[in-house]
A = this chain, B = another copy of it.
């Protein structure tokens, strides 16, 4: 189906063949549906119509497979950069609200929740790099978008802060609060999702009253 030179499909950005990407897709699907316990090598092989031998040839062992799943999923998420155009107060607010809503939507996503649960479950193990990987690939990525947005706001004289990291932490906390943990603990996200827009606006209002120009 594919040779050495893979056809650079949507998933081949990490040096994986399309076939391997499809396998990881099925593995993610299994993880989302049944949790970590359902994520057995035999189950993945069955769901992806491949052999266990191929799994071990491609990913080394089970941990390598889990790492590949996280890398693969992270490679699919592309954070759109903020437009560098001139910002007015209302534009900044709209960008912040959009960012806040996107953040809530991402955190509430099936795959995100499943991968976070997986990494947290493996976090007790010594030398488990899953948590670190998720942190690096996830938070850094979305934090970069927020950082650029905040910096643009400061450049435009709309925001006032000394430590961008602290300002971002406040924004994150106001937006997310303990909702992420509650969803990770199994609280039905369907009910919470309906309030995301209103929650994002409220949080951004609070953030602007803390770090806004006149504050």
Q: Taking A172-B177, A210-B209 as contacts, is the C-beta distance between A121 and B119 under 8 angstroms?
A: no
Any chain B CB within 8 A of the CB of A160?
no
In the assembled complex, the CB of A38 is this many whole angstroms from the nearest CB of chain B, namely 8
A132–B184 CA distance with the chains assembled, in angstroms: 11
* A-B interface, 3 closest residue pairs, ranked by CB to CB distance from nearest: A35-B124, A173-B173, A131-B185
In the assembled complex, the CB of A156 is this many whole angstroms from the nearest CB of chain B, namely 22
A119–B184 CA distance with the chains assembled, in angstroms: 9
Closest residue of B by beta carbon distance from A134: B185
A177–B206 CA distance with the chains assembled, in angstroms: 15
Any chain B CB within 8 A of the CB of A201?
no
Residues of B within 8 A of A184 (CB): 120, 123, 131
Contact B177 A180 (CB under 8 A): no
Contact B178 A175 (CB under 8 A): no
User: Which of A124, A139, A209, A210 has most chain B Cβ within 10 Å?
Assistant: A124
A125–B124 CA distance with the chains assembled, in angstroms: 20
In the complex, given contacts A173-B177, A176-B178, what are 6 additional A-B residue pairs having Cβ atoms less than 8 angstroms apart? A117-B121, A120-B185, A166-B202, A172-B178, A178-B180, A180-B181
Binding site for B on A (CB under 8 A): 34-37, 114, 116-117, 119-121, 123-125, 128, 131-132, 134-135, 139, 166, 169-170, 172-178, 180-182, 184-187, 202-203, 206, 209-210, 215
A183–B114 CA distance with the chains assembled, in angstroms: 18
Contact A132 B185 (CB under 8 A): yes
Closest residue of B by beta carbon distance from A173: B173
Residues of B within 8 A of A116 (CB): 181, 185
Residues of B within 8 A of A181 (CB): 116, 180-181
Contact B36 A121 (CB under 8 A): yes
Contact A128 B173 (CB under 8 A): no
User: Which of A116, A169, A185 has most chain B Cβ within 10 Å?
Assistant: A185
Residues of B within 8 A of A202 (CB): 166
Closest residue of B by beta carbon distance from A121: B121
